[in-house]
Amino acid sequence: MIITDWPNAVAHIDADYFFANCELARKPELRGKPVMVLGKLGSCILAKTPEAKQAGITTAMPLWDAKKACPKGIYIHGDFRYYTILSRYLMSLLGEWSPVLEIYSVDEAFMDLKGLRGLYRMPYNRIADRIREEIKNRIGITVSVGVSVNKTLAKVACELNKPDGTTMVPGRAISDFLSTIPVGDIPGIGRSRSELLFKYGIKSAQQLAETSQNLIQRWFGKTGVLLWRELRGETSFPIQKDSPPPKSIARTSSFDKPHTNLQVVHGMATYHLERAIEALYRHHLLVKEFALYLREKSFMTYGLKHRFESPTNDFYELVKALSKTIKNMPSNRIWRSTGVILSHLSPSCGQQLNLFEDPKKIECQDELNQAKLDLNKRFGRTTVRSGATLFISKKYTINKERLDLPLF
């Protein structure tokens, strides 16, 4: 266990009920009301204000249950482009406070505070408060901040005074702090690990921190030991400034209701493939393995795979792979969702050509793909698109705006 207060200083900044908070930022008249943001097809709750939480609403609750629990609630279809813009604004403001910032998710970041006391001439807790105030004033949303000696402890601390609060856990306070935290509240300890720990009578985070390393290794392997070290005040997970390129790209969604029409499955999967290719280009990546993702009404899930001979980002090659894969689908099933997953990704610069590929042809394909993406960026995602998506007719989609498709 460490004995000094600030061998390192890490802040975890977490936007409170982010999507719902974004809605309050542009519709202040909704403040104080139970506001909920819904997923793509309005099927479940993605975010809720404290007032909705009080009414018994939980995240991922299906819409019909939510309406029973909170009939007078305000239900809003998620506007994810808007949330992304606010997220970028939030991160850029945080970046002004410290150059060492890790963007952890759309609504969370870690910041290295070490050395900033001298720079700003104020203690860490004051810096945290100032950050919260600035975000509230300039973006109109509230965030909570936890400050401790590493990422895990800062993250756990952040949860304690939500919303709109600062929580400090200096080195000497770690033990007392952890004795008040249930093991299940530690990031990295989910349901199954909690259950195992409970069997051994380990209920608080402090008890876990005092368990022998050998036991931790046996129960949870390498990652468990890294986490255990963080609970003891050491640093296993340094702040990572630059986010690495993705290892897989998935684009999926549920249908408005389960159905059996293969052309619609094909159309939806093609639509998602086009979205996935956009991401592939954005990250300058090539894909070696394509999977058609399918989920039955019963939640039975399939990933039908196709391997490319050499990594590609070519639209037509991917569309062909999808068409081929569709033919291997189990028949006579009722489908609930579909999409695509691109994996085994590699950087597109310095692409290795195999002996049979014509560099000129690849160059032409690339220009064509790029032109398609540029047109769609300027005039809307579906300006140039695969004919297969024509099969997603109005009959199968309830909300045109959500899909962003010109439906007929």
First-residue to last-residue Cα distance in the chain: 65
Whole-angstrom Cα distance, residue 222 to residue 5?
A: 27
Peptide bond into 99 cis (omega under 30): no
CB of 34 to DNA, least distance (A): 18
* Binding-residue total with DNA (CB under 7 A): 47
Using CB under 7 A as the criterion, what x/- string covers residues 192-231 for binding DNA?
A: xxx--------------------------xxx--------
Please, what is the minimum distance in Å from the beta carbon of residue 51 to DNA?
20
Task: Give the one residue of 279, 304, 384, 390 binding DNA; rule: CB under 7 A.
Answer: 279
User: Which are the contacts of 397, defined by CB distance < 8 A and separation ≥ 6?
Assistant: 256, 403, 405, 407
For residue 103, which of 121, 87, 119, 81 has the smallest C-alpha distance? 87
Q: How far, in Å, CA of 134 to CA of 92, rounded?
A: 12
Choose the binding region for DNA from 166-174, 199-207, 245-253, 260-268 (rule: CB under 7 A).
245-253
108 is catalytic: yes
Which of 23, 108, 230, 274 does the annotation list as catalytic? 108
| Nearest alpha-carbon partner for 25 in 131, 133, 137 | 137
Using the minimum distance from each CB to DNA, give the nearer residue, 23 or 108: 108
Minimum distance between the CB of residue 332 and DNA, rounded to whole angstroms? 21
Cβ(289)–Cβ(325) below 8 Å = no
R_g (Cα) of the chain, nearest Å: 24
Looking up tokens 């600035």 gives 134
337 near DNA, judged by CB under 7 A: yes
Among 32, 62, 115, 380, binds DNA (CB under 7 A): 62
Q: Is 166 in the site for DNA (CB under 7 A)?
A: no
Contact call for residue 65 and DNA (CB under 7 A): yes
| Per-residue x/- track, 341-380, DNA (CB under 7 A) | ----------------------------------------
Q: Write out the catalytic residue numbers.
A: 108
